[in-house]
Amino acid sequence: MTFSEIVKTLKIIKESLSIRSHYQLFHWLHADVQHFIPHDLVIAAWGDFSLGLVCYDVVSPLPGLRTESFDDRALQPFFMGLFHRWLKCDHAPYSMSANHGFELNALRNSAATDAMQQLPAALVHGIKDKRGRHDCLYVFMGREELAHERARETLRYMLPYIDTAFRQVAHLPDQYLIPAPTKPTPAVAANMGQLLAQPDTGLSARELEIMEWVRMGKTNQEIGMILDISAFTVKNHVQRIFKKLDVVNRAQAVAKVTSLRKG
């Protein structure tokens, strides 16, 4: 890296800490980051990828490529595929191209597909959140080749600052959490059925359902996303469950329900 590039890198790092608006984010990405990672589109996706509960933000100067241009249902499998490939790459940045398996079939119902077809190169990297369990995935797409080692290494050390910049920008009105699936997976549904078939625990069907997700380690926010209710409503349910079971925390509640079921 030349002295000039070092200066540009330090400028990128410094400015990432002061970004507060979508305009500042757009200008920073396409004026500064662009020098190291040539791109025409950035997609930031975050949430619980294990459940498919993912939000996203799209930043691009190209017409037709805005966050509201995409079909949420079509993007979910797209993000899931990219995220699981990133996990298989041992959490390392990876590149794709139209000639090397980069498919847009998951976006076939999206109005933005045609525009994205003009961006054959992609560079993907993510951040694994061990504490909040809301992982982040970043996808850079462009007309130029992004498969070279320099671009991957640049994204590796620059991603924490890119992530910081995105986190400091407030959601647009239509960027709140995507509604969770209305049906649980077969395995979860089977567990729910077994739970409801057990002897009376003194809890309602909804409370038993929430307790099953508590047993699986989900937070109030995650349970709210799954059941399509607010985290505040989940909190109220949990507090009522504690009173009915005469316990003071989630671990005791899980143990009490398990004991009652065995009884």
Beta partners for residue 97, in sequence order: 121
Q: What is the pLDDT of residue 98?
A: 59
Task: Decide if pLDDT at 24 tops 90.
Answer: yes
| Residue 188 to residue 71: CA distance in whole angstroms | 27
R_g of the chain, CA atoms, integer Å: 22
Range 249-260 average pLDDT: 87
More confident residue, 104 or 121: 121
CB 30 within 8 A of CB 62: no
Confidence of residue 180 (pLDDT cuts 50, 70, 90): very low
Mind listing the domains of the chain with CATH numbers? 3-167 (3.30.450.80), 186-262 (1.10.10.10)
Q: What is the pLDDT of residue 200?
A: 63
Tell me how far the alpha carbon of residue 139 is from its chain's centroid.
12
Query: How far is the CA of 152 from the CAs of 28, 57, 126, in angstroms?
Result: 19, 21, 12
Q: What is the pLDDT of residue 189?
A: 54
Q: What is the pLDDT of residue 80?
A: 86
Task: Decide if pLDDT at 212 tops 90.
Answer: no
Task: Decide if pLDDT at 119 tops 50.
Answer: yes
The per-residue pLDDT for range 26-76, each reduced to its tens digit, is 999 998 899 899 999 999 998 878 767 788 888 998 887 887 777 666 677
More confident residue, 191 or 125: 125
Tell me how far the alpha carbon of residue 107 is from its chain's centroid.
17
Confidence of residue 100 (pLDDT cuts 50, 70, 90): very low
Confidence of residue 18 (pLDDT cuts 50, 70, 90): very high
Task: Decide if pLDDT at 130 tops 90.
Answer: no
Structure tokens at 79: 């993000």
The per-residue pLDDT for range 148-168, each reduced to its tens digit, is 888 899 999 999 999 999 999
Q: What is the pLDDT of residue 182?
A: 43
Amino acid at 121: A
Q: What is the pLDDT of residue 102?
A: 47
Task: Decide if pLDDT at 184 tops 60.
Answer: no
Task: Decide if pLDDT at 207 tops 50.
Answer: yes
Q: What is the pLDDT of residue 110?
A: 58
Query: Cα(first)–Cα(last) distance of the chain, in Å?
Result: 68
